[in-house]
Structure 1
């Protein structure tokens, strides 16, 4: 299914206001409530909308420290990559894990209470990941820009 301008407006609004009522959404995109509802359902069914979530403030949740960890593995065999990915997905402090092209094999985005908490995460989890040859951690000093909305 190709997205038309109305679909794109719906997606744009929903990315910013996920809890908006169908009545308010239909008003913002200039559609009847029933037509808007049908379009949202179709966008969900076709996979354009994968889920609805509440985005929490990590600072208010006691996790103000943001760390990016570059990981280089000892090899590139499928079984090693699979074992690493399975193990890293079980670490609750890891928000994102990306397989990379470049100097590192993976980049992890991790939240922690502070540097001591990150040391615990490193000691209890990261140092035990299978196949890790090298790790480099970078602490974010300040978030300059952040969004979850992709261009539509």
Structure 2
């Protein structure tokens, strides 16, 4: 079943409010979207069960946590077989510095977003972690100067 076809404007208002504040109380959320608490809770639960709402999270300030710099890394692997992709992807998922990792089409195989503490922190990440992974052939890095937009989900 295509749940997206069943989402109405009230569901979209619920999702927009949750996107801004995932800790909002059900009572306050219901007031904001024009429902009573029980139907609001039921709609949220239905969207959770359908996978529309995948989870709730908190955004941490990486600068205040001592990792002020973001680096985008393009990676090319030596081989393109399922085992190499699987092992490389699993290894990336275990690295706390890796914020996001995408398998790509085109010139590079992966785009990786990492949080580091300056060039020294980045060098340590490269030498002690990324370059130790088997199968890596080439990487190209770019330091982020400023984030212009950051979003963890789409706007419904």
TM-score range, shorter chain: over 0.9
The equivalent residue for 2:50 is 46
Instruction: Determine if the alignment matches structure 1 residue 3 to structure 2 residue 7.
Output: yes
In the TM superposition, what is the alpha-carbon distance from 1:148 to its structure 2 partner?
2.0
- 3-state SS of the aligned residue for 1:118? helix
Q: TM-score, normalised by structure 2?
A: 0.94
RMSD: 0.9
The equivalent residue for 2:125 is 121
**Structure 1 Cα separation of the partners of residues 92 and 21 of structure 2:** 31
The equivalent residue for 1:59 is 63
> Structure 1: which 4+ aligned runs deviate by more than 6 Å?
none
In the TM superposition, what is the alpha-carbon distance from 1:105 to its structure 2 partner?
0.3
Any stretches of 5+ residues in structure 1 without a counterpart? none
Q: TM-score, normalised by structure 1?
A: 0.96
Aligned residues: 152
Contact 1:74 1:131 in 2 (8 A): yes
The equivalent residue for 2:135 is 131
The equivalent position to 2:152 in structure 1, one of 129, 145, 148, is 148
Instruction: Determine if the alignment matches structure 1 residue 93 to structure 2 residue 97.
Output: yes
**Structure 1 Cα separation of the partners of residues 14 and 134 of structure 2:** 43
Q: Deviations over 1:16-69 (max 9, x none)?
A: 111111111001110111110111111111111111111111111111110000
**Structure 2 Cα separation of the partners of residues 151 and 38 of structure 1:** 21
Contact 1:16 1:149 in 2 (8 A): no
**Structure 1 Cα separation of the partners of residues 141 and 89 of structure 2:** 18
The equivalent position to 2:20 in structure 1, one of 16, 22, 37, is 16
